[in-house]
Amino acid sequence: MRKFILSVMALILILLPVAVRAQESGDALEKPVEQDLGQWNRNFLSPAYGVALFRAEIRQRGIPGVISYFVDEEILVTAADLRVFRGVNVSKKNGFYTGVEAGAFIFLPVAHSFSDDVTVMDPDYMPAPPWVSGPIDFKAAPYGGLFFLMAKYGLRTDVGKQKKGFGAGLELGAGGSIYTGGFDLWMGDKNNPSAQADAGSTETKISLIVDASAEGSFRVGKNSRLFAKGSVMIMPLTFEGGQLSSVTVMNDGVSNTNLQYFEYALRNYELEYLPFVYGLRVGFTLSFD
């Protein structure tokens, strides 16, 4: 046992200077690398702000008592795109990275105008004369938002000097989203409408999402960069702007006001978001230990 212990101690004494010399050599090799690449900060935080475009389709539902000649129309719905990415740099110079991104689309209340030739009549008293008949002009505007959480992976390549230079990369992400909101429909002035209806969703919509982004960036320091990203988000499950709740206006054969009939006519329309979202956003990335 004593010989074994003495042998181990001798081996340690022999190898210790070798290990120290190897460490010194490694430090000497590491210094030029750090001078060229900068300190490798693994963690980063990246907020981004931009605009997203949704495609939506408005069409008629065909509710009882309303005869409509409306042809389906497609519109672009604008939303503010707010995101924050918390991730980890897997390789030096931010080559490959991964993390989690949370964000929200907040729909902007931009109005879209439509026209239709509508006849409203009481289905229980046909073929009585229609209560309302003729062309109508109405508007629709979205409200609400969509909130999402994704796991993301990215690959970026940089050119230029250590502290300044350009970069380009690609990102892929997948996760889930929660949508709530709908559309306001009205005739006349928004603040004082002659008729209005709510195409609001009565329930929260949950969907899977897939996101792909292309990035162009500029390094402004050893651990920070500015970027612009264009993206396409795919939602396999569409988000309906809300099945309009049915409101019985003509249930007793009593003549109602034109306002009630026009509001009933507005409930003949529904809106649905199509499953592709296009976005453009800018932001910055800050790396830290």
Helix H, strand E, coil C: the string for the chain is: CHHHHHHHHHHHHHHHHHHHHHHHHHHHHHHHHHHHHCCCCCEEEEEEEEEEEEEEEEEECCCCCEEECCCCEEEEEEEEEEEEEEEEECCHHHCEEEEEEEEEEEECCCCEEEEEEEEECCHHHCCCCCCEEEEEEEEEEEEEEEEEEEEEEEEEEEEECCCCEEEEEEEEEEEEEEEEEEEEEEEECCCCEEEEEECCCCCCEEEEEEEEEEEEEEEEECCEEEEEEEEEEECCCCEECCCCCCCCCCCCCCCCCHHHHHHHHHCCEEEEEEEEEEEEEEEEEEEEC
pLDDT tens-digit readout, 30-44: 444 444 445 557 889
pLDDT, the chain, mean: 77
| pLDDT at 84 > cutoff 90 | yes
Higher pLDDT, 134 or 6: 134
Higher pLDDT, 22 or 196: 196
pTM for this model (two decimals): 0.76
The pLDDT score that the predictor gives to residue 201 is 58
| pLDDT at 53 > cutoff 90 | yes
Among 1.20.1070.10, 3.40.50.300, 2.40.160.20, 3.30.70.141, name the CATH number for the domain at 40-288. 2.40.160.20
pLDDT tens-digit readout, 149-200: 999 999 988 887 667 888 899 999 999 999 888 888 888 777 777 777 776 5
